[in-house]
Amino acid sequence: MMDISVVIPVYNEEGSLKELVAWIRKVMVDNHYSWEIVLIDDGSRDNSWQIIELLQKDNPEIKGIKFRRNYGKSAALHCGFDIVKGDVVITMDSDLQDSPDEIPELYNMITKDGFDLVSGWKKKRHDPLFRKNLPSKLYNWTVRRITGIKLHDMNCGLKAYRYEVVKSIELYGEMHRYIPVLAKWAGYNKIGEKVVKHYERKYGTSKFGIERFIRGPLDLMSVMFMSRFVKRPMHFFGVLGVIMVILGIAATIWIAIQKIIDLKHGITGNLITQSPYFYVALTSMIIGAQFFLAGFLGELISRSSSDRNNYQIDKTTF
């Protein structure tokens, strides 16, 4: 094992790589750390991979992974986490907007203060106001309310992890946005935050487009469902089914009461099917049955899963 592993996804960042690696190397040497850098080329179309190969020749501490095409940040982090050896794992972006000078304090917060995960907080951002700043604030407020994790910048690329944390979580899709949620789900509850410097982009352009505002909420829904109901799907779908069935029964009772009142007053021409509540009752019953069916199918799939009894065990004593 070594002190620190730095995992850096790379996508069309040929202009910043040499400067970034030199900056990280200086921090590591000045603090006498044993270290490695894992650079994952996420299908870059520029000369990023060629630069990584050149850097490897002069720096044996550098490891490189090259994807055949662009898979996304989650895939890059997943493959990086798979090969790291450091007691503390640091992630950062490759665009020089994250400062390697933050590494020593992040390392101390993990090793000395006992945090499982420390997330950076870009309190003062150098990003466009309406494109990133305001959407980021709204996004982080929403995630805090839903997950109960009190972080101001959930998606900050600069984070520090205990080695065991990165080996206990699985990233896919766009789940890199919710690593603190996945870590908490895996049983690592000591999650801290550190205000970090955020620099203006020096080279290249931002890789994040408007589509992240669509993917983000969908992935949040997936994370919350997986964290709460993946081993008991009937508890989710069954509750929804019960609500819909109760709504259908209530509508049916109301239809019956209306029919009785009409008969009492000698009104016989009104058909049950003419009442809007008839369709409310019918639709609710059908949807409720579908929810129950989805819950049963989910339970069958869950019980057939090979990891249905895969639990995170911290310590044992006999």
State the Cα–Cα distance between residues 5 and 159, nearest whole angstrom. 12
Domain ranges of the chain: 2-229, 233-304
pTM equals 0.72
- Output the average pLDDT for the chain: 83
Question: What is the model's pLDDT at position 174?
Answer: 75
Q: How far apart are CA 239 and CA 107, in angstroms?
A: 44
- The per-residue pLDDT for 101 is 95
Task: Report the pLDDT value the prediction gives residue 126, as an integer from 0 to 100.
Answer: 58
Q: Could you give the dihedral angle defined by the CA atoms of residues 123, 127, 129 and 130, in that order, rounded to the nearest 10 degrees? A: -120
CATH 3.90.550.10 is right for the domain spanning 2-229: yes
User: pLDDT tens digits, residue range 124-153?
Assistant: 765 555 455 666 777 777 777 777 788 888
- Position 171 scores a pLDDT of 84
Pick the more confident residue, 305 or 256: 256
User: If DSSP codes are grouped into helix, strand and coil, which group holds residue 129?
Assistant: helix
